[in-house]
Structures are given as structure tokens and as C-alpha cells.
Amino acid sequence: MVDAKDAGPRFEFDRDTWVEADGEDRFRAEVSPGWNIGSNPNGGYLASIALAALARSVPHHDPLAVTAHYASRVSPGPVGVVVDVLRTGRGLSTVVARLVQEGDVRVQVTAAFGDLSAREGPTVVTGERPSFPPPEACVPVDPSIPGVPEIMRRLDMRLTPESAGFAIGHRSGVAAMEGWVRFADGREPDTGSLVVAADAFPPTVLNLMETPWVPTIELTVHVRARPAPGWLQCAFRTRYLIDGDLEEDGELWDSSGRLVALSRQLARVRA
């Protein structure tokens, strides 16, 4: 966390999600083109701007459940962030942030905030960490290749050989995408940045078919633990592509081998 903008956030993610107060329950921010997929800002990045405003508006530390509905396209440039605190509770707060451009709500993010360090109750885990090759045995996504999205300059992403095949025309035939991700400039993951990792990987359906763009309609991320420093191990899959609509289910694990987030989005294959 940074105390003043003059000091300047050290990392790209913090600089590009910076929000400044602009009246009561209002902030302003600047959508950077540095997180674009093609000409559209990444949905996880946009949600992170909303979360940055929400984090200033609640007494709790961690976004536990984050839902973003993408109503219309956001352009790089200035954006207003309007915050609405629905409830501040002892254990949980429920808050809404809307990204506004030209008077229209373009994205709405609703989040339940709490403190993961204070959650107490039973633990029973039966899910297993995905088993695939370590980062050094995976395929780095090279941002210097034409057509690779701008966001890949901000991230260090490694795809499993099976997942990466689509890029050279060897589609696996399985709607899955697996690999590792971390920020390229060394910023460590935290509960406020996991939503970027949950939405940054190439779409699962690229391993089924060519498609230029897979816009997200709705994205929900459940943050289940504070991530340890280092790589995030991520696995996404789609089981139901129906009439062009698909769910993409994700699991994010940290370098200590803990599940840190579950994600699901409803997206659409655009011809």
C-alpha cells in the first residue's frame, strides 16, 4: 500500500489501479491500455480498479466474493468509480462499485469483504491441486509476438505445452487452459489482485476452435486464502459450450500449495 500518489506506486498493477477520491463515495481512475486484450481492457483488470475503490470504503481487508457484470465496453482513459456501501458488518461488508464513462455504468462490481485471517470454522478439503509441469517446463507467453495481447507485457505467464498448442495451430481438443502466472515486475499477488489472474489466461475454447474474442458477461471470484509470494498455478476448464455461451471455471493455487481462489465466468464466443 502506498500513502501518497506523489511517492508513486512502485508496481504497474498498483499504479494502474490507483483511485483518487472525487467527492463522497466517488473516485476517479485512469484505465491504462497496458492491460488490453486487443483493444479492450481486460475484465479482471477493470474489476481490480473497482476493488481498489472498495478497499478504501470498508473496514475489512479481503474481498471474499467478487462479482463483476460487464454491461458495456470500457475505453482506456479516465473513468469514474461510484461506490455504494450496502452494509458494513462486524464480519462482512457488502459493497458495490460502478465504473462510469460518459454517464453510463459500464461495469458493476459487487463484493463481500471480510478478513481471511479472522475466519474461524471447520476445514475439509477434497479438491486436489492440479498436476502439471512446473513453470520452467511450461511455454512462456511472449509479448513480442504479433497478436499476443498487451496484458502479457504486464504478466509473466507460462502455459502447459498441451494448453499452449493452440498458438501454433495444435488445438488440444479439450476446452482447458492451464499454467502459471505472476506479475512481470515482481509485484507479489494479494487478495486484491487475484481477480486479474482469474481472467488473464487465454480462453479455454481456443483449444477447441478459432475465435477472435470471448467477451465476459459475468465473472465471480471467491477468494479463499491470502496467497503466498510467488507463482500462481491456475487451471481453467469449460464443460458446457451451448449456442456460443460458455462457463469458464478456474482454480488458483499459490506457491505454498494452497487453494487461494475459485473463479467462474459466463462468456460468449464471438464469430
Are 151 and 38 contacting, i.e. CB atoms less than 8 angstroms apart?
A: no
Shortest Å, Cβ 61 to a second copy? 14
Shortest Å, Cβ 250 to a second copy? 12
Q: Closest CB to a second copy among 95 and 181?
A: 95
Report the candidate in 254, 41, 24 with the shortest Cα–Cα distance to residue 16.
41
Shortest Å, Cβ 174 to a second copy? 8
Q: Closest CB to a second copy among 155 and 234?
A: 234
Shortest Å, Cβ 193 to a second copy? 19
Are 67 and 82 contacting, i.e. CB atoms less than 8 angstroms apart?
A: no
Q: Closest CB to a second copy among 65 and 184?
A: 65
> Backbone phi, then psi, for 16, in 5-degree steps?
-85, -5
| d(C-alpha 140, C-alpha 159), whole Å | 6
Report the candidate in 258, 266, 183 with the shortest Cα–Cα distance to residue 227.
258
Shortest Å, Cβ 7 to a second copy? 34
Alpha carbons within 13 angstroms on the beta-carbon side of residue 122 total 2
Q: Which residues are at the interface with a second copy (CB under 8 A)?
A: 64-65, 67, 69-72, 86-87, 89, 92, 94, 96, 98, 104-105, 108, 110, 112, 116, 119-127, 174-175, 208-209, 217-218, 220, 222, 224-225, 239-245, 247, 259, 262, 264, 266, 268-269, 271
Q: Closest CB to a second copy among 127 and 147?
A: 127
Residues written for the chain: 271
Q: Closest CB to a second copy among 116 and 167?
A: 116
Cβ-count burial of 199 within 10 angstroms (0-12 exposed, 13-18 middle, 19+ buried)? buried
